Structure 1
Amino acid sequence: MQRKILIIDDHDDLASALDSAFSAAGHLVRILKNRGDAITVANINDYDLIITDLDVDNSEVVPPLNGNKGSCLPELSPADAGERIKAFKLCAPNFRRDELDEDELKNFVETVLNYKTRFVDTIEFVRQLHEKIEFELPSAISPMHSILDYLTKRVEKLGVVNTEQSNLFVALDEAFVNAVKHGNKFNAQKMVRITAELTRQEARFTVEDEGDGFDVNSIPDPLDPENLFKTSGRGCLFICNIMDEVKYNERGNRLTMVKKSENPEFVKSEK
């Protein structure tokens, strides 16, 4: 199926590589140079895939124009103005309108992240900034492994954790699967939103689904002898034991997790 793809890239490194790959596959690709141009696009969410890779460096956050809130653009608050931020977002708003082809979605996600890793991301560059990474995708398990692998590698490049000695992968995997399986109940018409805010001092992750939510206090205690052979509740226990901070919103459909840096040099620099 031919897809409409919008790429917003102020350095053109990722855009050029992806334009060649996607155009060769028969997709329609449009490239814009900045967020300001993107928020003036009419019906931006009619694109099947929107990829944003922007620098925010000592500049004001541009407000939406003409009522276009650009929900598939990176969310940058006024507090971010003046801070050097690398904002990356991958959004697939229209995949849920069709009969979802998980393999197609997975291939798109893998292609984008592979090209970003090869042509954009470097250790030296990453360690100098505050990075925001966002994914907004239909409920599907298959693309999640690529996203999880990408995020854990980003955290390791920042020096927050050594992934070989950390269970960060396990905690994020539990959160992603819970959002798709228990939150959205595998309903491809509902989206999963994954956000990572990364600095040398910490990695903050938010996973949000469009399900009804749940009462966190109703989760059975997996350590209670009566629940030893029950699987429910174990995922939340893993997450709480691995992460330094864990918080659910009141509705129970958004989970925020924080992993503090294990590098003494970065912890010290924060104080």
Structure 2
Amino acid sequence: MERKILIIDDHDDLASSLEEVFVASGHAVEILESRDEAILRDDIESFDLVITDLDVNHFAPVPALEGNGATCLPTISAEIKADHIKAFKICAANFRRDGFDEEELRELFATILDYKLRYVDTEKAVKGLHEFIEFELPSAISPMHVVLEYLIKRVERLGVIKPERSNLFIALDEAFVNAVKHGNKFDTQKLVRITSEVSDKEARFTIEDEGEGFDVNSIPDPLDPENLFKTSGRGVLFIYNIMDEVAYNERGNRLTMVKKSEPDLTQ
């Protein structure tokens, strides 16, 4: 199926190469060089995928906008304390669901993230970088695995975690699966939103679904002997044990987790 793809890239880190790959695969691609150009468009909602890769001046944070598909554009909170921020986002909020095939979406995400990891997120390029990463995608497990693998490699490259002794993968996997399975109940009409603020100091993740939410305090205590053989609550326990900070919103459909940079014990 032909997909409409919009790429907003101010330094052509991704645009030209991805355009060549996607056009060769039968998709229609359009490229813009700035967020300001995208704001003036009134057809962003017509694109199946919107890929954004922009440099953002912290002193001029990107405001949240309404309408015209503006939710597919990155929004940088003024609370982020950094002089220079890289904003990267893949938005599949308007991905056409007729004949939805999650494998197709997985392959699109994999192509984008593999290229970015190999050719853009080089060790030299990410050194000292403060990046704000966002994903909006339908509730499907396969694409979530691709996002998970990218984020793990991304924080590894910045030195936030040491892959041989970190359980960050487990915590993120539990959070992603919970959002798709328990939050949105595998309803592909509902979205999962993932944001990650990554620096060499820490990685902050927020996972939000469109489900009814839940009361985290109602989960049976997995440490209670009476609940020994119950699986309910174990994922949340893993998350609390692995992450340095964990917080749910009042509704229970948005989870924020922080993993601080691990000290280098070899020095």
Question: Is TM > 0.5 for Structure 1 vs Structure 2?
Answer: yes
| Structure 1 residue 129, shift from structure 2 partner | 1.9
1:96-135 to structure 2, matched below 5 A, reads 97-135=97-135
Is 1:188 matched with 2:191? Answer: no
Contact residue 243 and residue 258 of structure 1 kept, 8 A: yes
Q: What is the deviation of 1:69?
A: 6.3
Q: Equivalent residue of 2:240, what SS?
A: helix
**Aligned alpha-carbon RMSD (Å):** 1.9
Moved more, 61-70 or 246-255: 61-70
Deviation at 1:95, TM superposition (A): 2.5
Partner of 1:28: 28
Please give the secondary structure, in 1, of the residue aligned with 2:86.
strand
Distance 2:66 2:192 in 1: 27
Change (3 A) 1:87 1:248: same
Superposed displacement of residue 79, structure 1: 4.7
The aligned residue for residue 140 of structure 1 is 140
Give the Å deviation of 1:82.
7.3
- CA distance in structure 1 between the partners assigned to 2:223 and 2:65 by the alignment: 52
What is the deviation of 1:164?
1.6
Q: Which amino acid aligns with 2:24?
A: A
Q: Secondary structure at the match of 1:165?
A: coil
Give the direction of change, closer, same or farther, for the CA distance of 1:106–1:228 in structure 2 (3 Å limit): same
Partner-residue secondary structure (3-state), 1:54: strand
Question: Alignment partner of 1:164: what SS?
Answer: coil
Q: What is the aligned partner in structure 2 of residue 84 from structure 1?
A: 84
Q: Which residue is 2:38 aligned to?
A: 38
Letter in 1 for 2:18: L
Matches within 5 A, 1:119-268: 119-263=119-263
2:66, 2:147 → 1: CA distance? 33
Q: Deviations over 1:81-121 (max 9, x none)?
A: 97211110011122354232111000001000011112211
Query: Partners of 1:252 and 1:112 in 2: how far apart?
Result: 31
Q: Is the 8 A contact 1:60 1:82 kept in 2?
A: no
CA distance in 1, matches of 2:30, 2:84: 26
Listed as ranges, the gaps of 5+ residues in structure 2 are none
Q: Are the equivalent residues in 2 in contact too, given 1:87–1:132 (CA < 8 A)? A: yes
1:17 aligns with 2:33: no
Q: 1:146 and 1:65 mapped to 2: Cα distance?
A: 28
Shift of 1:48: 0.3
- Given that 1:59 and 1:81 are in contact with CA atoms closer than 8 Å, whether structure 2 keeps it comes out as no
Query: What secondary structure is seen at the aligned counterpart in 1 of 2:14?
Result: helix
**CA separation of 1:237/1:70 partners in 2, compared to 1, >3 Å: closer, same or farther?**
same
Question: CA 1:247/1:58 → structure 2, altered by over 3 Å: closer, same or farther?
Answer: closer
- 1:40: Cα distance to partner? 1.3
Residue by residue over 1:195-218, the C-alpha shift from the partner in whole angstroms, topping out at 9 and shown as x without a partner, is 110111111000000000001110
Question: What per-residue deviation string (whole Å, max 9, x for no partner) do you get for residues 65-92 of structure 1?
Answer: 7954610111123455972111100111
Contact 1:96–1:190 (Cα < 8 Å) also in 2: no
Letter in 1 for 2:30: R
* 3-state SS, counterpart of residue 71 of structure 2: coil
* Corresponding residue SS for 1:50: strand
Whether the 8 Å contact between 1:106 and 1:142 is mirrored in structure 2 is: yes
Distance 1:59 1:264 in 2: 33
Q: Whole-Å Cα distance in 1 between the matches of residues 80 and 222 of structure 2?
A: 40
| Residue 57 of structure 1: how far off its partner (Å) | 3.6
SS in 1 for 2:60: coil
Are 1:36 and 1:62, in contact at CA under 8 Å, matched by a contact in 2? no
Residue aligned with 1:142, SS = helix
| Equivalent position of 2:51 in the other structure | 51
1:72: which partner in 2?
Answer: 72
Cα drift, residue 143 of structure 1: 0.9
- SS of aligned partner of 1:163: coil
Q: Decide whether the 8 Å contact of 1:61 with 1:80 is kept in 2.
A: no
Identity between Structure 1 and Structure 2 (%)? 68
Whole-angstrom CA distance in 1 between matches of 2:63 and 2:201: 29
